[in-house]
Amino acid sequence: MHDSNKDEAEKSQVAPAFDEPLYVNRPVAVNKPGFLSRFDKIWDAHWFTNDGPMVQELEQALADYLGVKHCVLASNGTAAMGLLIDALELGGEVILPAFTFVSTAHLLTLRKVMPVFADICPNGHDLSVEHCRALITDRTSAIIATHIWGRPAQIQDLQALCDKAGIPLIFDAAHAFGARSGGQMLGRFGRAEVFSFHATKLFHTFEGGAVTTPDDSLADRLRKFRNFGFTEYDQVDCIGTNAKMSEVHAAMGLANLETIDEILAQTKNVYDAYDDGLRSIKGLELVGPRAKAETNHYYIPVLVDEAKFGMTRDELVARLHEQNVLVRRYFYPGTHQLAPYKTGEGHEHRLPATDQVSSRIVVFPGGASLTVPDVSRLCELLERMQSHNAP
């Protein structure tokens, strides 16, 4: 047999280190009885959607949990952000990071609002306040900052900047359920915050999302907008869409909220195990939070230093996939490098930190569906890879 074929044949016979795939952000599924008992109630009540009792109960429970006056649920996080952009009548230009999920840039572009991408801080990966300041013009209608990796953005500095410019500050809190700033839950800052309750999020409703805000009239508008502009039977006050959450989705949210302390505690155990295990591995840096106590510990973002680890980020990803560890390159490439945003008027971007970080970042499996022994085995595997490949 030709040598390279022999190598391949031998390689394919080696069992992967993990029998079952380790997924990034595998959905939490811990409270089946809590979900099924609510599902029975929905079934018996024959009320399945359109602002039903479970949706109302979850809105109140989340508002209480987050310590904010209003929580307006929506069918997903993107729909929730779309409602907010429409309700605030954003136009002109909106400043946002390129190092985030692509959904907000799409929402703006579809509405003929120009997304203006600001760079991130190379350490925390959150939006650079300085770069936002430089990008504000008289066309800027808002800043939408992401609480990246479940950690607060620089809330006070961004708020001061927006107050000075007379524009609203919005937070994309899709990553950040359960995280805090100055001891207070995220969800209560800026003009409004937007959550994703997608299955892959720390707190989820299968699919879902929400806008949280202290503003009564904004909450009112959001509720109208998510239901075609209806205010009464046969009465439509404004243009709107369908962004409603169904009762089954809300039931999953209520079941997950019942066990949120347990979920957060296990999520932290997993994070701490990575923190310990990765410390001794040269060339892999767990991106730490600004203040550890304020993260929700859900994301395990790691920067790969090729010179010290002995392989590139992409080689590491490929090697881990062979071992059934399905790490992801979030967020690579930055949104500004994606086809719809790369060219065209006004799209010359210079975002060195975004480009740097997105070429080196790899996100490891995290969250409550993992166990500490899984993480220890994974760190041992990484250590072996490093010692084989180290220069």
Give residue 274's region: left, alpha or beta (phi > 0; psi -120 to 50): alpha
In the set 31, 78, 335, 354, which binds ligand T4K (CB under 6 A)?
Answer: 78
Total number of residues that touch ligand T4K (CB under 6 A): 22
In the set 105, 174, 287, 357, which binds ligand T4K (CB under 6 A)?
Answer: 174
Query: Per-residue x/- mask for ligand T4K, residues 142 to 171, rule CB under 6 A?
Result: ----x-------------------------
Q: Is 84 strand, coil or helix?
A: helix
Residue with smaller CB distance to ligand T4K, 165 or 210: 210
Find the shortest distance in angstroms from Cβ 387 to ligand T4K: 27
Find the shortest distance in angstroms from Cβ 147 to ligand T4K: 8
Instruction: Looking at the chain, list the stretches that DSSP marks H as alpha helix, in order from N- to C-terminal side.
Output: 3-13, 32-45, 53-66, 77-87, 103-110, 129-135, 155-165, 216-225, 247-258, 260-279, 306-309, 313-322, 339-342, 352-360, 372-389
| Residue 236 to residue 324: CA distance in whole angstroms | 52
Q: Are strands 140-146 and 114-118 parallel, antiparallel or unpaired?
A: unpaired
Which residue in 254, 133, 152 sits closest to 204, CA to CA? 254
Residue with smaller CB distance to ligand T4K, 90 or 165: 90
Residue with smaller CB distance to ligand T4K, 24 or 286: 24
Query: Per-residue x/- mask for ligand T4K, residues 178 to 207, rule CB under 6 A?
Result: ------------------x-xxx-------
Which residue in 71, 73, 39, 63 sits closest to 227, CA to CA? 73
CA dist 159 to 43, 119, 148, 210, 329, Å? Answer: 45, 17, 17, 21, 30
Residue with smaller CB distance to ligand T4K, 24 or 98: 24
Q: Which residue's CB comes closest to ligand T4K?
A: 77
Asked whether 200 and 174 are in contact (CB, 8 A), the reply is no
Residue with smaller CB distance to ligand T4K, 165 or 248: 248
Residue with smaller CB distance to ligand T4K, 168 or 208: 208
Find the shortest distance in angstroms from Cβ 298 to ligand T4K: 11
Residue 126 makes contact with ligand T4K by CB under 6 A = no
| Residue 299 to residue 18: CA distance in whole angstroms | 20
Asked whether 169 and 146 are in contact (CB, 8 A), the reply is no
Residue 100 makes contact with ligand T4K by CB under 6 A = yes
Asked whether 166 and 192 are in contact (CB, 8 A), the reply is no
Residue with smaller CB distance to ligand T4K, 271 or 330: 330
Residues numbered 292 to 351 that lie near ligand T4K (CB under 6 A) are: 326, 330
Which DSSP symbol is given to 206? S
Residue with smaller CB distance to ligand T4K, 24 or 58: 24
Residue 256 makes contact with ligand T4K by CB under 6 A = no
Find the shortest distance in angstroms from Cβ 5 to ligand T4K: 32
Q: Is 290 strand, coil or helix?
A: coil
In the structure encoding, which two tokens stand for residue 161, read together?
A: 């900047």
Residues near ligand T4K (CB under 6 A) are 23-27, 76-78, 100-101, 103, 146, 172, 174-175, 196, 198-200, 209, 326, 330
